[in-house]
């Protein structure tokens, strides 16, 4: 089958924040445990893919107009592996341009939104060359997963889960599924401000962290506990119980970092200002505010809050910047999912 020539496909895909964390892999790019997240609205990647015939698969990658060889090499490796199934891709040259809505050096990982955007472009391309898949977004999620696990969840709007579990019908390790029902309205309008405390590259990458779970002394305990956490969170998301949500989400974030602390070798991604902000947020909650935090594999903190707290949060961001706790605050919320660009 010969592809048509000189075509361009562009998609925008959101970043996401996990409430139940994927940490550790089975063989290949499959999760050790199920995870659950929501997609963000404002933090996203826009990617455009131009393809033309060539003697072999080749990739030219630019990020915001600049050639990025290291990510370009990663994408070439990824496309070469996808081309094992779609052999016509081996006779294409790809020109890929990417840009992010979030600032440079913000310490926000862009692999989820980047691989989701790329996978959506690829799903479009594959769909135009072969029989249409049963489910476009399921296929995009599967392709995104092969680039970066958490990207599997970034092809959907709102809440989604990834990873096989008896708790979610039709769940799979291959792709994520959107959680369309049973989310209380108060959790659909939840706000998220990314509190950037450190904009440097992490000392230990997620890939290294996942690998350390293979022989982690608490691996079995974690797998058992995370299923229980997921079961509880699904009930909480349905009930709208803010306090139960806050406690579970924070416990899950701290468990992620506890797993890092107890890995062999151990590593610490938290910074003093992460801990300062955790104390601030917990004391706000003790005084009755609907706020809580979660953490990714890094020092930056996602502050989650009910929109009724907007004004207080804006003031806090200014105060925390002044006191030196915070470098930057990026305001966001639950997102409406990816979109195809003209
Ligand atoms: O997708 P990766 O390999 O960058 O791993 C992401 C891991 C966490 O962000 C810590 C958790 C998650 O589920 O997103």
Q: Which residues of the chain have pLDDT under 70?
A: 1-6, 105-107
Structure confidence at residue 133 (pLDDT): 76
For ligand 1, atom 9, the nearest C-alpha belongs to 296
Q: How many angstroms separate the most distant Cα atoms in the chain?
A: 65
The residue to mutate among 13, 16, 23, having the most atoms of ligand 1 within 8 angstroms of its beta carbon, is 23
Q: What is this structure's pTM?
A: 0.96
Q: What's the gap in Å between 137 CA and the centre of ligand 1?
A: 20
Q: What is the position in ligand 1's atom list of the atom closest to the CA of 112?
A: 1
Q: Are 340 and 16 in contact (CB under 8 A)?
A: no
Distance (angstroms) between ligand 1 centre and the Cα of 21 equals: 7
Q: Structure tokens of 259?
A: 């797993």
Minimum-distance ligand 1 atom for the alpha carbon of 21: 13
pLDDT tens digits, 13-26? 999 999 999 999 99
Domains, the chain, in order of start with CATH, read 7-183 (3.30.230.10), 185-333 (3.30.70.890)
Q: How many whole angstroms from 209 Cα to the centroid of ligand 1?
A: 10
Per the prediction, the chain carries an average pLDDT of: 95
pLDDT in tens, 89-111: 999 999 999 999 987 766 677 89
291 CA distance to ligand 1 middle (Å): 23
Pocket lining for ligand 1, CB < 6 angstroms: 18, 21-23, 35, 111, 148-150, 206, 210, 256, 296-297
Q: What is the per-residue pLDDT for 268? A: 97
Quote the pLDDT of residue 27.
87
**Given this model, what pLDDT does residue 105 score?**
66
Q: How far, in Å, are 137, 166, 315, 329 from residue 230 at the CA level?
A: 23, 11, 33, 29
Instruction: Please report where in the chains the tokens 């940490």 appear, as a residue.
Output: 23
């Amino acid at each position: 089958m010969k592809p048509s020539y000189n075509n361009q496909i562009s998609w925008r895909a959101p970043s996401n924040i996990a409430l139940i964390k994927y940490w550790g892999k089975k063989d290949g790019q499959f999760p050790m445990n199920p995870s659950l997240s929501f997609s963000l609205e404002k933090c996203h990647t826009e990617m455009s893919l131009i393809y033309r015939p060539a003697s072999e698969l080749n990739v030219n990658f630019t990020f915001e107009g600049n050639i990025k060889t290291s990510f370009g090499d990663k994408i070439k490796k990824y496309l070469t592996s996808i081309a094992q199934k779609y052999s016509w891709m081996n006779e294409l040259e790809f020109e890929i341009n990417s840009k992010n809505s979030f600032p440079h050096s913000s310490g926000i990982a862009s692999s989820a939104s980047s691989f989701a955007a790329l996978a959506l472009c690829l799903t479009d391309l594959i769909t135009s060359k072969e029989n249409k898949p049963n489910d476009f977004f399921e296929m995009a999620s599967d392709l995104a997963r092969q680039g970066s696990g958490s990207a599997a969840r970034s092809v959907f709007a709102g809440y989604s889960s990834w990873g096989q579990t008896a708790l979610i019908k039709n769940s799979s390790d291959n792709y994520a599924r959107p959680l369309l029902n049973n989310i209380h309205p108060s959790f659909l309008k939840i706000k998220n401000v990314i509190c950037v405390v450190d904009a440097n590259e992490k000392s230990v990458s997620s890939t290294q962290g996942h690998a350390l779970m293979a022989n982690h002394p608490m691996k079995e305990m974690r797998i058992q506990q995370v299923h229980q956490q997921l079961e509880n969170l699904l009930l909480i998301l349905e009930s709208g119980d803010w306090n139960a949500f806050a406690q579970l989400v924070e416990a899950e974030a701290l468990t992620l970092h506890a797993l890092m602390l107890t890995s062999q070798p151990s590593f610490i991604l938290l910074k003093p200002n992460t801990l300062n902000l955790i104390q601030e947020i917990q004391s706000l909650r003790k005084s009755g505010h609907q706020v809580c935090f979660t953490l990714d594999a890094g020092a930056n903190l996602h502050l989650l809050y009910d929109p009724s707290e907007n004004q207080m949060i804006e003031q806090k961001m200014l105060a925390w910047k002044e006191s030196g706790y915070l470098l930057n605050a990026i305001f966001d919320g639950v997102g409406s999912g990816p979109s195809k660009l003209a």
